[in-house]
Structure 1
Amino acid sequence: MKKLVPFLCLLFILSSGFAHPLPPDSEIPEWMTQYRADYGALNRLYNIWGTEEYTQRMTGLVDQYLAKLEELDYDALSLDAKIDYQLFRRQLREAALNLQQDALELEEAKSLFPFGEEIYQLVSEQRRGAQPQPKAVAARVNDLNKAISASIKSVQKGDTLDAKVARPAARHIDDMREALEKYYQFYDDYDPLFSWWMKQPYSETDELLKQYESLLKKKNRVESNQRRDQSGIVGNPIGDAEIRRRLIYEMIPYSPEELIQIAEMEFAWCDREMLKASRELGYGEEWHDALEHVKETYVEPGKQPEVIKRLYDESVAFIKENNLITVPELCEETWRMNMMSEERQRVNPFFTGGEVISISYPTSEMTHEEKMMSMRGNNPHFSRATVHHELIPGHGLQMFMNQRYKPYRRTWNGFWGEGWALYWERLLWDQGFPESPEDRIGMLFWRMHRCARIIFSLKYHMGEWTPQECIDFLVERVGHERANAEGEVRRSFTGGYDPLYQLAYMIGGLQFESLKEALVDSGKMSFREFHDRILKENQMPVELVRAILMEDAPEKDFVTKWRFYDLKKRP
């Protein structure tokens, strides 16, 4: 009985609430999962972006979860929980800022859609299945059409519009049109009188909103100016101040100018290595001629899948032989191929990957010039790097592990996602994966491409270069086929990518490389331990990966400070 006393006393203390509470390490992952579900549910309900009810409800949701975090005793949290805290708070603060900025932008654009309230009212009435009075609704929509027509005429007569007004207005009107389509489909045919009264007025509304959205895009001052660029590519340069803000958010403590300097230093290394390979092939200092030689090694139509399979087998065998990372059997079993459509290749002229590698190669509808550029730009030596970038150990393995380890952290981070795949290109180079001068040229082409991405994307977003200048830079400095360069620039600026996405490849790769030097090269971890651990922590800024692996917990209000690249010594 005496032996039971201490145990019973402990139970009493724990149950009575006098014991110090254990760190709530499980709460934050649950909140992160709940927030994602809550956000999705509200976004589907309040389906017109930027309305007052949308902004208020979403802001309330963000504030609710920020308050939960603020109630925690940060110092009492474990290292893992502190990382979750930092990730979640970062996500919520960015969401709050975006909501605030969106609301301000839309407020400035409100005069362009004075008819908005009528559309909001119609949509909100349908959410809970309100029974409409078809004749009365038709009259309301008829008046709505007159108001939209008046707005169209007013904008047609005016000058071009500032992008800060035209762009959010066009997006808002597109959401209105989609919401009205759902409204109409809900009642159409199910209520015969509704269909009789509303078919013509609704059809007119839909067409007017399409016209208005198109007009606002044409009147966009940025887009109008960019049409003078012969490329015809119309993007949305965000400016110097926003680039700097986003770099801090992504935990990259370098200025745009310093990032361009890093790219130029890495470019210089590539130039030296390219010349070495060119000399080995007998082209001397004319490395562009050596690059042309490599491009001509393309395979005939129908043979590209065989090349991809061979390169996949070689890369996976190489990483296993060198014990670089764990490759789950199911990940190897479940990857597969498909062929990329002609339309998609115009935006993305190279492979994409994950569980499925999408192969970019000519289709019969392409012109002769397009076919040749596609085959030359996806030759086997260029593909030597892209296959393991897209499959294993790159995106295919990443996505497989993300779904199975700490999936609540799974929000896209380009520096982690693309940086990891680029890091493996660099690592396999260092480990001797390229077997010939042609292989080295193929892998160097991609490394030069990632250097170029930093330079052209930053210069574009800072307003220094046009899309055409970016295309010319890729052709002249890297050796791209012109159609492929056009596709790359179009993808970068009109494909829905974050403005920092293109620079994330090289910069994220350099972050992982710096971390590898500190932990693997020093002998503190093996390659396999290092790589497996990163994937099991899921996606996050690489500076937080560093905090985990080095067991260096961030302070509650820490700011990015990891200078992972020595601008004086490297490469």
Structure 2
Amino acid sequence: MKIVLACLFLLIMPFLAQSSELYEPIQTFQADRSALSRKYSNHLSEEYFERFGRLYKNWLDKVQNLDYAALSDDGKIDYLAFRNYLQKQLFFHEKEFADYKEVEDVKDFASELEAFYIFRRSAQKPNAKAIAKQFTTAQRSVQSKLEKLKETTPYTSWQKAELAANIIKELKVTLEEAYLFYYDYDPSFTWWVKKPWELLATSLEDYEKALTDHYENTIVKDDGSGIIGKPIGAEAIKKELEFELIPYTALELIDEAEKQFAFCEKEMLKASQELGYGNDWKAALEHVKNTYVPAGEWPGDVYDLAVEATQYVEKHDLITVPELAKETWRTKMMSPEAQRVNPFFLGGEAIIISYPTSTMTQAEKLMSMRGNNPHFSRATVQHEIIPGHHLQGFMNQRHKPYRRMFYTPFWIEGWALYWELNLWDKNFPGNAEDKVGMLFWRMHRCARIIFSLNYHLGNMTPQECIDFLVDKVGHEYANAEAEVRRSFEGNYGPLYQIAYMVGGLQFYALKAEMVDNGDMGEKEFHDFIMTQNTLPIELIRARIKGKTLSKDHRTSWRFLDKNNW
């Protein structure tokens, strides 16, 4: 046993050595949050909001009371990242609590119901006859509220109506868990409560459905595209950018995206002329789309492209690629359902490949094949595997893994996009068709900034976003629709789509500061970043430059101001 423990210690010692003084507090916070989340399962209840508000405030106090000056360099970075994380969680938690309070009267009948599921946690035998009476009384109250709903003032937006409906949905789910804890295990409870619960559950379902449609049509829910997202507005965008340590406004970022797009168009014209299409770069784009390969051959081609990208970065000594990282990545095929929101690749340890299936129409098959042609894909396979997402994930598991809590898409997607910029500079495109493929994706990332921010600012509808991608970038319509659906209905934060290009430009600017001026070698630069795990890139900049930030640091790195595109 002693030998086993000694060997285990030797295995984990390198991970402990690279951890800062904040390792244990960060791990403890995550354990606290997970435990409380399992305990307080109704996330749309006052009990939940109050308890998690205390959690974030207590931990924020603990962190801010640390002796910042006494921390190591990594400790200071972790302090700033942890504090920023807690401030962000608390800010949006309180915002969600305020939204909840605006509509919480939809369950003003539920105090005894909530007392029942709280009592259930004690596992004590309930007063079944009293519970049956409470359920019956509550069911009558719900029916009364349902009947009077048409006479009450509708909510001012569909979002409020949806929140009200979800409050009732979460109440029912939590009650059902408590009910099933006793049902059939407690004969008395089953005899008294079975019928009242069935009636109450049906009424709650009816009430939830009615609330969903109880709003004035002053804010369009569906513009005809069938894509229903939740624009968050200018103030929330401003706060999101602050917490990501991005010192620019939404309008400034849109302006930068338009400048980047102009650069891409200029380069597209060169590639178009090289292919013999003159200034009609969209004709050149059509030519490239039609280089698609037959179904069945494509997965093997994708594999070969991934190997080529890995060999390229190793041949040019750009980054360290562990042998196990090369050994362990895999391939999968994207389901037809998933292709509705992910018409291209997804990546990580497995690259997930989109291509037609028998369930698609002929038009859908053609759009999928044209959108996943070899030249488009050569520009992004390295984004997904090596040196992109697979290598990121591989290294994140092995270097400061506790920092994964600070997950930011500006690091995740920004790093992968940065390689597209870097490889363009190194003439990675083998011919004009490859250039068109790389430029198409670069245009798309610019377009993501423009359409997603404008959507959240209330300036564009989903249908306008689709049309923008088709007209401005040259997307196949179905692929554009899937991209917009992914942006607004997928499990992504409101800044996720801008994080590709903006994060990429952060890394690109940092490379200019550290490598292009001769302070570091390029491989040394890339390897260092891979040891830092996911952090706001401004904090990585401070660490790599050996710069000590103040305890009250606020974002100040204007990484776009010296852009020479």
| Same structural fold, with TM-score higher than 0.5 when normalized by the shorter chain | yes
Secondary structure of 1:219 counterpart: coil
Distance apart, 1:167 and its partner CA = 4.0
> 120, 123, 130: which one pairs with 1:126?
120
* 2:477 pairs with 1:489: no
* 2:275 pairs with 1:274: no
CA contact (8 A) 1:223 1:234 kept: no
Secondary structure of 1:490 counterpart: helix
Q: Deviations over 1:124-157 (max 9, x none)?
A: 1222312234443333223322222333333344
- In structure 1, give the amino acid aligned to 2:43: W
* 2:521 pairs with 1:531: no
Tell me the distance in 2 between the aligned counterparts of 1:173 and 1:390: 41
Matches within 5 A, 1:162-311: 162-163=156-157, 165-220=160-215, 225-227=220-222, 229-311=223-305
* Aligned position for 2:333: 339
TM-score by length of 2: 0.92
* Aligned position for 1:423: 418
Tell me the distance in 2 between the aligned counterparts of 1:267 and 1:157: 52
> Which structure 2 segments of 5+ residues have no match?
1-18
- In structure 2, give the amino acid aligned to 1:209: L
Distance apart, 1:240 and its partner CA = 1.2
Q: Deviations over 1:452-472 (max 9, x none)?
A: 000001111111111111110
Matches within 5 A, 1:402-413: 402-411=396-405, 412-413=407-408
Q: Deviations over 1:146-189 (max 9, x none)?
A: 22233333334445413463343233333223222322332333
CA contact (8 A) 2:470 2:480 kept: yes
Which of 327-336 and 477-486 deviates more?
Answer: 327-336
Tell me the distance in 2 between the aligned counterparts of 1:26 and 1:285: 55
- In structure 2, give the amino acid aligned to 1:499: P
> May I ask how many residue pairs the two structures share in their alignment?
545
The sequence identity of aligned pairs, in percent, is 50
CA contact (8 A) 2:64 2:83 kept: no
> 93, 105, 110: which one pairs with 2:87?
93
> 405, 414, 420: which one pairs with 2:409?
414
Cα distance change, pair 135–464 in 1 and its aligned pair in 2 (3 A): same
Cα distance change, pair 202–333 in 1 and its aligned pair in 2 (3 A): farther
Tell me the distance in 1 between the aligned counterparts of 2:217 and 2:513: 45
Cα distance change, pair 146–375 in 1 and its aligned pair in 2 (3 A): farther
* 2:533 pairs with 1:546: no
* Aligned position for 1:56: 50
Which of 146-155 and 123-132 deviates more?
Answer: 146-155
Q: Deviations over 1:363-389 (max 9, x none)?
A: 221222211111111111111122111
Tell me the distance in 1 between the aligned counterparts of 2:216 and 2:549: 44
> 423, 434, 440: which one pairs with 1:439?
434
Q: Deviations over 1:190-226 (max 9, x none)?
A: 3345445544443444444344334333335579623
* Aligned position for 1:82: 76
Tell me the distance in 1 between the aligned counterparts of 2:418 and 2:510: 11
> Which structure 1 segments of 5+ residues have no match?
1-24
Secondary structure of 1:96 counterpart: helix
CA contact (8 A) 2:413 2:503 kept: yes
Distance apart, 1:274 and its partner CA = 0.9
Cα distance change, pair 73–218 in 1 and its aligned pair in 2 (3 A): same
Cα distance change, pair 292–197 in 1 and its aligned pair in 2 (3 A): farther
* 2:62 pairs with 1:68: yes
Q: Deviations over 1:291-346 (max 9, x none)?
A: 11111122222222111101101100001001111111222222112111111111
Cα distance change, pair 75–194 in 1 and its aligned pair in 2 (3 A): same
* Aligned position for 2:505: 510
Secondary structure of 1:337 counterpart: strand
CA contact (8 A) 1:113 1:151 kept: no
Cα distance change, pair 529–217 in 1 and its aligned pair in 2 (3 A): farther
Distance apart, 1:423 and its partner CA = 0.5
Distance apart, 1:523 and its partner CA = 1.7
CA contact (8 A) 1:222 1:236 kept: no
Distance apart, 1:400 and its partner CA = 1.3
CA contact (8 A) 2:103 2:160 kept: yes
Cα distance change, pair 346–114 in 1 and its aligned pair in 2 (3 A): same
